[in-house]
Structure 1
């Protein structure tokens, strides 16, 4: 992102996003060229050089299955100071930036509700390096998602522990997963911490003869949440709403690897309902 002077003030868009935007703009401009009468003599987007399909390919996801997630969380409960954060990410599917921007006033623990209103990310300002900044969610829309009783209980305990450090850390405007000073955690360092804790988990479990969960990225906890829910037969519309996707088609496209299993189970359920009558 650049300001009016052409200075870089934020993180650049991903190759995938740039290619997607180019496709939309080219299509819109081509409609102007094809109009009767023509509104444009030629399509200016034809001269652009967007990222290739290979460059725009999304990183391959590696979600855990339910047993692998359970194994990691059982380990982190006793060995990671950020266990609550890892569990909330896995049990809600929210993004890293959304978790780091979460405040206690966004939680209604009595009703088991979480309001996802904002996100924290890194921006690059010329001459100043990277800076943490809070903004809207990726879709620019707030959403409310349900929490299960175990997650609610964990968050209550986490709030009690935060309040034990300092009363201000448990007030409504305080960050749920801020640092000891109550300020935002650095997003990239937060991801690195997950990788470090997972690496330690894998080493320790392997020494005990326990099959450790595969090495994954922090973002794969989000994919894990979605994949487990879809395989369990949860309506894709519900999964899409929890993830904050603008349309359910995005969810189905990203998690198409789940569809064969879902379709097979649906066919078997239909046949069971019909009693095998032909």
Structure 2
């Protein structure tokens, strides 16, 4: 049997050593650090000389082309704390990232050195979150939440690769919940009759909040966009409004919460045309608000503000809507008004327009989507009966 060829300088070396489990092999090579100094690297535990030789070739190739990364001894929790400080994100998104790292990453993976994190370890972590990841101890997290937390970790470790702290991203070798598994809860939409029924009831029950419900249903605005709308953004003569900003809740551990205005979800403004009925309702609403205080109708004033002119709390606004839907169902009959969430008014707006044949691009622009493709993907459902209408219309075309 021929002896292994003696390696040349710079090729590294392989040595055999004994363990209780039998012979093992180690590799030894010289690598250059980022500061230009060199160090000798040892890696142990290879079961065969062939495995050791393959690993050695890979490491030497990395050193030759400048891809070798010195393993970091920094813990993951320390790295994530450093990483989050450098992110250019909205206050609400930063607060969400910090909360999820604190609750779902650090307790499970925080003590791990960044360089020793593996794909299987990430997979095991996600399975634990699905089984028992709730912070209150009441079971596991939804696939949607697990995928969201995974994307935070993936982004952080991708930056570690860019910065030369890791040679590969271990999340590239893991399997998070799929997009279909992480699909958001199914949205509900009212029919035109159901929406009209509710708005009529709300106008009689609470005219102040009824304006908010009508505005959301008539424009498809997001909750935060409506609550950040100011009178200077509304042109009643032209029958349109400009969506320029959004308000959200930023919660910080130990510091409570605050309402923060920022750009829209896409960071872009858009103009939305208003129907005559909504314009008339806004005129009457502004006149009524002016009787309370002139400050409430100045150009800089919020359209849907509290009585003191401050922002309405987005989460309380949603809860108020839910409470009013419950009351309306009691008054009108539960079978005549399905239960929906506040965000479903946006869904209702899009669904009614699409069902009436309004072009997808027009609906997409009203909603502020990045493209019509997103609109088609999100609003691909149909109301009961819409399929039958399409079939009947096709038959009518054939019959001439």
Q: Shorter-chain TM-score category?
A: 0.7 to 0.9
Aligned to 2:319: 192
CA gap of 1:122–1:50, structure 2 versus 1, over 3 A, is: farther
CA drift at 1:50: 4.0
Is the CA contact (8 Å cut-off) linking 2:150 and 2:176 kept in structure 1? Answer: no
Q: Is the 8 A contact 2:248 2:314 kept in 1?
A: yes
Q: Distance in 1 between matches of 2:263 and 2:228?
A: 10
Answer yes or no: is the 8 Å Cα contact 2:360–2:372 preserved in 1: yes
Structure 2 runs not aligned, ≥5 long: 1-79, 88-92, 101-143
How big is the shift at 1:15?
3.3
Aligned length: 261
Distance in 2 between the 1:245 and 1:48 partners? 31
- Please list the CA deviations of residues 95-138 of structure 1 after superposition, one character each: whole Å capped at 9, or x if unmatched: 00000000000001100111000001111123212211111111
CA 1:190–1:233 in 2, change beyond 3 Å: closer, same or farther? same
Change (3 A) 1:264 1:249: farther
1:253 maps to 2:400: no
Q: CA RMSD in A?
A: 3.6
- 2:172 corresponds in structure 1 to 46
Q: Which of residues 260, 279, 282 is equivalent to 1:155?
A: 282
Residue in structure 1 matched with residue 295 of structure 2 by the alignment:
168
C-alpha deviation, 1:11, in angstroms: 2.5
Tell me what 2:95 maps to. Answer: 10
Which residue in the other structure is 1:226 paired with?
350
User: Which of structures 1 and 2 has the larger relative contact order (alpha carbons within 8 angstroms, sep 6+)?
Assistant: 1
Q: CA deviation at 1:204?
A: 1.5
3-state SS, counterpart of residue 169 of structure 1:
helix
Question: What residue is the counterpart of 2:187 in the other structure?
Answer: 61
Aligned counterpart in structure 1 of residue 393 of structure 2, from 263, 268, 272: 268
Aligned to 1:37: none
**Residue 181 of structure 1 aligns to a residue in which SS?**
coil
Query: Secondary structure at 2:249's aligned position in 1?
Result: strand
Q: Provide structure 1 residue ranges, at least 5 long, that are not aligned to the other structure.
A: 33-39
Q: Is contact 2:216-2:346 (8 Å) kept? A: yes
Q: Distance in 2 between matches of 1:141 and 1:122?
A: 20
- Partner Cα separation in structure 2 for residue 123 and residue 218 of structure 1: 20
Structure with higher Rg: it is: 2
Q: 1:244 aligned to 344, 364, 368, which one?
A: 368
Match of 1:78 in 2: 204
> Secondary structure of the residue that 1:154 maps to in structure 2?
helix
